[in-house]
Structure formats: C-alpha cells, structure tokens
Amino acid sequence: MGRWVKGLLWGIGIAVVLTASLFLLLNFYIAKSKPVIEGEVHVSVLDEDVIVTRDEHGVPHITAASDADLYRAQGYVQAQDRLFQMDMARRQASGSLAEVVGEAAVDTDKHFRTFSLRVAAEDSYDGYSDEAKEVLHLFAEGVNAFIEEAKEARKLPYEFAVLGYTPEPWTAVDSLTIGKYMAYDLGGNWDTLAVRHWALNHLELEKAKELFITYPENASSIIAANRESPVEVAGQFNPELVAHEFNGSNNWVLSGEKTESGFPLLADDPHLGLNTPSIWYQMHLQSPEQNVSGVIFAGVPGIILGHNEDIAWGVTNVGPDVQDLYIEKPNPDDPTLFLYDGKWEQAEVRDETISVKDADDVPFDVMVTRHGPIISDILYKKEKPTALFSMHWTALEPTKELEAILRMNKSTDWESFEEALEDFHAPAQNFVFAAKDGTIAYKANGRIPIRKKGNGELPVPGDSSEYGWEGYIPYDELPRVVNPEEGFIATANNEVIGDEYPYHITEFWAQPYRYERIAEVLNEGDNFTAEDMMALQMDQKNLYAREFLGDMLRSVIAIDTDEKYKEIVNVLEEWDQFDDVDSAAPLIFHKWIKQLPVTMFKDEMPKDVYNMLPGKGQITDQLMRDGYAGKPGQWVTAYGGIDHWVFNTFKKSIAETTQAFGSDVENWRWGDYHQVTFPHALSSASPLFESFLNPKKQEVGGSNITVQAAAFKADGTVHHGAPWRFVADLSDLSAAYHIVGPGQSGHIKSKWFHSQVDDWVNGNFHETVLVGEVENGVVLKLIATEK
C-alpha cells in the first residue's frame, strides 16, 4: 500500500512538473509575442519617423508629419494591439472562419456568405474617391508591416499559434468588410419579418396581430400573399447569429444655456457586445492636417466617434426598416429561376465553396435574385420549396461610410460636418453634434427606403413589380434639429419622429425608458458639468418599474389572498426603483419581467422561432397596457386574464429565484445575479483559457432599461452595454473623458488587457488629451527606413 501511494505521488509529481513546464513554455511564448511599445522600431513603409505615445491607460497618441504616415502608423499600431481580433472580424464577416476553426464554423460561414457582406464591401470599394482608397491602402500597408515584422521575428500574437495558422496580408476590402459587419450588427429587421410571416401562417390572425404591436393598416393584400405562399421559417435560421436586440445606445447634447461653463456638453455611450478585447479601440491621431481623438473599430482607419479641436459628435442606432424580405417563387424544374411579372428570371448563382480546416471543402452556392440573396434554406435543404425569402438591404448596395468618417474627422462646424454625413449610408445612425461656436445639432442619418407598396412590416411578393423600393428619404428631409429651444437633444433608440413626419422609418422602436430618464434629468436641471454627464451615464433609475410595478403588484395581491408572498410584495413596494447591486427588488422585478414572455409564448412556438422573436419586452408591455386598461387582447384572454398571467409568471420567477438564492429574501441581491465578465473569443474552448483570458466576474448595477445599460442573459451574465463611454466639454476640447471596457490591449500580457474593468463597473472615467503633453506616457518611435 505504501509503495502504491509512493508511486501515485511520484506520478502526480511528474504530471505537475510536466504541466508546470508546459505552462512556463506557453508563458514564454505568449510573453515573446507581446508587441514592442517602447523604444524604437524600424518600419519600412513610412516616409518619415512617427512618434507613438501610449498614455497611462494604453491609448496611443500618434503624431506624424503627414496624413499618409499617420494612417500607415494607425494600421501598424492597431495590429500591435488587436491583430487577432482584426483577423477574426474579417473572417467572420467574410464567412471564412471554418478555414482556421474547423467544421464547427461551417454554418456560421454559410450564414455570412449568404448575407454577402464581403461582396458588398468589394462593390463599395469601386465607388470610393481616389483619396479614400489611398487611405485604405496606407492603413493596410501599416498592418502588413507589423504582420511581416512579427512573422520574421516569430512574434505573431499567440492566438495564431493556438489555432495553428498565419494571418494573410491585410487589404482595403478587409477594412470595408468590417464596416459592413457593423451595418449587419446594427441595421437588421429581417428576423422581425420572418417571425411575423411564421405567425400569420401558424396562429389565429388576431393573435398574430398582437405580436406586431402596431399592426399595419390597409395590408390585406400583403397578408394574403404571406398566407398563400408560406415560407419555411422554423428550423431554417440560427437565432444565435441574429443581431442582438439590445444593440442600442444613449447620446445627448446640451447647449451652453444649460451648462455651468456656457459651452455645450456632449455625451455618448454606444451599446454593443461586451467582450475581450473591446469592440472599440481608442486612439488619438495628429498630423499637420488633422487632430482628432476617439474610437474606431479595430481594422478600420480614422476615428468614427469622438472629437477634434472644434467639434464633438456621437451616435445611437436609429433602427429603421432597411431590410425587406421578398417571397420568391422558384421554378419547380429549375430552382435558379424565379417568377417575376409572369416570366422566369435567372438568378445569379455565386460559388461560395467553404474551405474547412482538417476536412474537405464544403460546396455552397449563394443565389441572388433581382431583390437580393436568397436567405432561406441556408442550413437545411428542403426538396423543391414552393417559396423562399430573398432580402433587399441598404448595406448590400455600394456605400461610402469611410468617406464620411475621414471628412468628419477634419470638420470644423455643423455645416462641414453635415456635408460629410451625406456619405454615411448604413447603418442609419442618430448623430448628435456640438461645436465650440455653441451650435448643437442632431440628424437621423442614413439611407432609409421609400417603398412602392406597404411599409416594410411584412414580407412582400417577390413575383410582382408592384413591390420594391423607389428611392430613399431625401437627404435634406431626414429628421434634423439644430439649436432647439429646450436647450438639449437626446436619443436612446426611441421614436424620433412625430405623427406629422411624412415618411416611414419603423414602428418598432426601443422601449422608451432610457430616453425618458435622460430627458427627465436634463429637463429638471441647469448649470450642468461634465461630471454630471458622467453620472447620468451611470444612472440606475428604473422607469420600467415606475410604469408597471404598481399594477403588477395589485395582480399578485388580488390572487395571493393568503399573503404567501407578502414579504416579497413589501420589498417591491418599498423599493426606490433604482437597479442597485445591493437591493433585492431589482432581482425580483427583472426575473419577473423576463418570465412574462416565456409564460405567454414559449410553448406556443418552435424553440428557434421563439428565440428569434424580437421585441419580446415591447410585446408584453403592450399586452399589459391593454390588459390593465380593461382591453385585454387574444393572448391575455386565452390565458385567463391579466391578473392570472402576471401572477403565474410571478410564482414561476419567485420559485426560480428561491432555488438559486435561498428562501431568505433579506439575503437576495441584484449583484449576486447581475454580473459582467467580458468573455474572450477563445475562452469557451476550455476552462483553462477562460480562467486566463476572461477577467473575474464583477457585480454591476443597472439593467437593459436603465441609462447605465447592462443587458443580461437568463443566467444573469451581463453581455451587452456600453463598451465605450464618452463625455466632451466644449469649453475645453484639449481633452475629453472616456472609458473603454475591459481595456485597450488585446494581448494577455499587456497591463492594459483588463485594466478598465473596475472603471467600467464603477464609472471612473479617464481624461485623454488632444492638445499638450501626455503625462506618464510610454514612447515608441517608428523609424522610417529606406524603401
């Protein structure tokens, strides 16, 4: 027995030594791939030397003698910090992940090849000016200079070694493809149309109508077309690839009349996925021709959001209906022919064979009708379908967003900035603007289609010329406000038009609570400071509860006659309606609210259709409004009434909460459930990767409907919010205030890898200078060598 124990210990010892050796070897390799950010490096593509100073938060301040060298250096520096992220982004958008990941990514590649983002980027490139094309190529030169340097020194980011491949050279189209991916992430409504089509074909008409929230008037012919030619929806799409419904943002701008300094204040916090590294990369770019600071997507030149010495700007998503689905009728004898005005038209058939790591290539074709790509039948083949969906989308047309960005960076006033916006087509964005001259302004900017028939709320027949687009809302008729009497402008993906606006944008706006809270605070005060704007970005007031909680509690009290839930009701009645981490009430309220659509809809739909159903919150909000107003709809009536639905949902959510957190309500805390982690792309591969690549989970306040946006999954994991927060004081644009969560660098060995997680959770902003010396900076000199 002793000898067996001794042998076991010897074996364990060997395993520990081997594991430690492997860890040290891996640690050495990872450390070796850490980029050089101090001292000097020779960069052959430069005309003259460039200085890169990273401040104490890892923000690179690039100073170059020309714009040409500035964009080359921007590409080089982005690649230093984010090359693997850049490569993954272009691969996902292009549909080439399987080439380096393997068979698990084939369906994802099919999806993105069908959505044709790279093809759209290639088409867009041809429409750019020579100057913009030159910027794209200069940026690519800088990226490729780093790739070649890292390959020669065997210092490529360690993720490439983990996956066993070497990155290909960067191209101009790669940058544009990443831009198209952002249009995909922010500009989608196709899933809404697909689910509505399913509802019309599988539910009673009145029940289907209630899922629309605002049912389209005079749409009987379109409804009939949807019912006469049903397209398979269940089992056809992967809900995980649908753009997240909480992709939104807050922004606002105040005139000098409402500020302490007498100059405007601007705040912006775009809401996207929370990951490691951040989707945003903060930079400061300076040459004799420009001086601009802010953020950009890794892989793209310029600064998309931020400020220069004269102006500041920010965006939120408009969310217009810019994707239409067409019900296409294929020829039963030749599926590449589609009916149009009584004749069969040949679709374009594009060979999109997918290369797969360690496996055979996967043949795949994308069919494109006159309206756009066929998006049905992506994952599963159905024998001779009688109807399929094609998609028309503004982003699949040639667009020139980078042209706009480059001009925005050099704009000095509202007139020059608005001229630049004319090239910003997709995704449509709510731009807020402020200038040192005191101007504040707003524009809902982008291509928004005008339809021949219908308002884009349902799929339409693809076999008739009666349907389709006949242009876009004219640029000078897009929603626009300059220097309003109220002294401020704010947007939060809320409805931005009134009944008198002559064009259709959408009927599916975000829930109003973030906007209402921002407007409430800004209306109530004056003499605001930048610090007040930062505090408002972290505001946790829950106006959702203000609207509904009283009625919901009355439903519980009406049925809970034996007062089984009295303690919990008391907690909610005494709640100050802030989503604070130490409070039990937000935990009870949000789990209750999230359970409402589950209770009502989940058993009535296929799982994937339910998961695709957008706007569940808006739908159940309207069902409750109608129910409590004494006008219950079909869903509520069939369930047994508003009180029974709300009470039964309450019981289910309380049972789940009790199981997870115990029966002592006094010990329940929002922060024990609602936590953020910023997951890395590789962290799901193994628990070991997760422990090294993800920051430790932290409890965080706010929620999906508070100004401090923190949307969460069913397990409480916060996965959407504001990766970047920004405040600019126009009284002094020599600096501005930022947070980039979780940090600037994509390299695990960098001190800036997760350096801003605590700042993000607590709302601690850092000041980034635009003019003057960078204190405590780390200086890297990029030395131009002979070409």
**Which runs of consecutive H residues, i.e. helices, occur in 413-463?**
414-421
Contact at 8 Å (CB) between 392 and 372? yes
Contact at 8 Å (CB) between 315 and 268? yes
The verdict on whether residue 321 carries a ligand-binding annotation is yes
List of residues 6+ apart from 267 with CB closer than 8 A: 250, 251, 252, 253, 314, 533, 534, 536, 537, 726, 727, 728
- SS3 label, residue 296: strand
Catalytic site includes residue 249: yes
What's the first-to-final CA gap in the chain, in angstroms? 72
Contact at 8 Å (CB) between 678 and 757? yes
Q: What are the E-state strand segments in 216-289?
A: 248-254, 265-273, 280-287
CA angle 619, 620, 625 (to 5 degrees): 100
Cβ neighbours around 24 below 10 Å, total: 10
The answer to whether the peptide bond before residue 216 is cis (omega within 30 degrees of 0) is no
Tokens of 778: 């780390």
Catalytic position from the list 249, 390, 653, 745: 249
- SS3 label, residue 712: strand
Contact at 8 Å (CB) between 726 and 268? yes
List of residues 6+ apart from 41 with CB closer than 8 A: 149, 780, 781, 782, 783
| Dihedrals phi, psi of 36, to nearest 5 degrees | -80, 120
- Of 289, 260, 264, 256, the closest CA to residue 435 belongs to 264
Contact at 8 Å (CB) between 203 and 212? no
List of residues 6+ apart from 34 with CB closer than 8 A: 747, 749, 750
- The 3-class SS string of 408-424 reads HHCCCCHHHHHHHHCCC
List of residues 6+ apart from 731 with CB closer than 8 A: 259, 261, 262, 263
List of residues 6+ apart from 26 with CB closer than 8 A: 158
Catalytic annotation, residues: 249
Binding residues, by number, are 321, 324
Bind-site residues for Ca(2+) = 321, 324
